Amino acid sequence: MHGHIGICVLVVTIEAIIVADLRHGNVRDPDKPGQVVGARHALRELDRVRLERIEAGAQTIELVTCRTPLQRQILVALAVNTSS
């Protein structure tokens, strides 16, 4: 039981940090004018980003789906380095 409570506290803490970063980055919810994107909405949005691997002989090419403007704003607000 204590482990479950610990996990719940950890989840709430992580969500609060994500919301604070989104607020600080002024990431607005396109579906709710005037509101900042929530943590769960941001995570659902980022879940749509895909990495595809294509193998051609001895080479492997990795392609990432094009990010939407909202996905880019979320990644910047969360300080995720996407340069590589």
For the chain (84 residues), the mean pLDDT of every run of 10, in chain order, is: 87 95 95 92 95 92 92 96 80
52 - beta bridge partners?
63
The answer to whether position 84 is within a domain reads no
| Range(s) of the domain holding residue 51 | 2-77
Residue 54 lies in a domain: yes
Residue linked to tokens 């392609």: 63
Contact 40, 23 (CB under 8 A): no
What's the pLDDT at 26?
95
- Structural domains counted in the chain: 1
Nearest residue to 68 via CA among 46, 83, 53, 52: 46
Is residue 82 included in any domain, yes or no?
no
Between the CA atoms of 7, 12, 17 and 18, what dihedral angle is there, to the nearest 10 degrees? 100
| 27 in any annotated domain | yes
Question: What pLDDT is recorded for position 4?
Answer: 87
Tell me whether residue 47 is in a domain: yes
